[in-house]
Amino acid sequence: MRKTIVFLLIAFLMWSCKTETRYTTASAEIDHVKALIADYDAGRWDAWKGHYADTAKIYHNSTESSSAEDVSKVLARNLEAMSSYGFQDKDRFFEMVIDDEGDKWVNFWGTWEGTIAENNQKLEIPVHITVQFTGEKIVEEHAFYNMSELAMALMALEETKEEESMEDSEE
């Protein structure tokens, strides 16, 4: 009887010490997000959209969701004025967290860098993206970045073009 109690006590202690991995910096989901970013950097929009479930909800600087199709069109349109763009290789950070509901979320922090084609102005924008996985597909994404620097640079470029146009028409 004594051996049984000792055995049960040891088994209980070992079971109670078992911890579930809820945080990691290496996982298949992280590799999936790295591939997503590589597809974005290369402008492979069909491959980029393929990372998402058909019903994925994507929130970029918004509380209203969009589809992967709609977001890809907006991203591609925003990049039309750029001669180059992409996420810097340095200072990228990825982590995966399993929340209390058992959902897998991958977080990414990095710096987006782009060059405006017309005037070679370089921009750097910090970005945070968090995505939720179900199986091998992204079902929800939240991304936060400040587009005001890019918007102001493009508006200044347009103003310069308008001024030059007006000067040419006065001559």
Mean pLDDT of 5-33: 77
Which of 125, 129, 123, 116 is closest to 161 using CA atoms?
116
Higher pLDDT, 58 or 78: 58
**Does 163 have pLDDT greater than 60?**
yes
Query: Is 90 exceeded by the pLDDT of residue 22?
Result: no
> Cα–Cα distance between 107 and 91 in angstroms, integer?
14
Mean pLDDT of 13-25: 71
Task: Return the amino acid letter for 139.
Answer: V
* Placement of tokens 């051996």 in the chain: 3
Neighbours of 37 (CB within 10 A): 20
- Cβ partners under 8 Å of residue 134, min gap 6: 53
Give the per-residue pLDDT at 110: 97
Q: How much is the pLDDT for 111?
A: 97
Please, what is the end-to-end C-alpha distance for the chain in angstroms?
A: 107
Lowest mean pLDDT of 3-17, 45-59, 79-93, 99-113, name the range.
3-17
Question: Tokens 């990372």 label which residue?
Answer: 51
**pLDDT interval class at 159 (50, 70, 90):** confident
Tokens of 23: 């945080």
Q: Span 33-39, mean pLDDT?
A: 97
Looking at domain 19-162, its CATH architecture is: Roll (3.10)
Domain ranges of the chain: 19-162
* Digit-coded pLDDT (tens) for 141-156: 999 999 898 889 888 8
The mean-pLDDT minimum among 50-64, 117-131, 132-146, 150-164 falls in: 150-164
Cα–Cα distance measured from residue 136 to residue 29, given in angstroms and rounded to the nearest whole number: 7
Q: How far is CA 123 from CA 41, 51, 87, 157, 164, in A?
A: 15, 27, 11, 14, 24
